[in-house]
Amino acid sequence: MFDFFRQFVLFVLTAVAEIVGCYLPWLVLKQQKSAWLLLPALMSLSVFAWLLTMHPTAAGRTYAAYGGIYIAVALAWLRFVDGVRLTSWDIGGACIALLGMAIIVAQPQP
């Protein structure tokens, strides 16, 4: 159970690093914010790539499971950073994605 929780936290940190790394250039390009934001964006995307290597399973399985967490974290970002209220469809979709992630991560290891 501890290993599952550890992987879950690692997935969340990975998703946050990716979202920050993509959000900052979006601010530069869409909202004419300072180009200096590209430096922390580059650092965040570098951390994202490094965190992906910390996951204990094969890359393809890691990416598949990560997708479920990414959906949930992106929706949390939508709510708490962008200030957009989530719909029941958003929440239901995130729950299904998280269930898929849990099934992939919890499978018996050979």
- Provide the residue ranges of all domains of the chain, joining segments of one domain with +: 2-106
pLDDT in tens, 40-81: 999 999 999 999 888 877 778 888 888 999 999 999 999 999
Q: What pTM value is reported for the model?
A: 0.84
pLDDT in tens, 11-43: 899 999 999 999 999 999 999 999 999 999 999
Q: Which residues contact 108 (CB under 8 A, 6 or more apart)?
A: none
Burial class from Cβ neighbours inside 10 Å (0-12, 13-18, 19+) for residue 12 reads middle
What is the mean predicted confidence (pLDDT) over 91-95?
97
Q: Which residues contact 99 (CB under 8 A, 6 or more apart)?
A: 68
> Which of 43, 42, 68, 63 lies closest to 53 in space, CA to CA?
63
d(CA 4, CA 82): 30
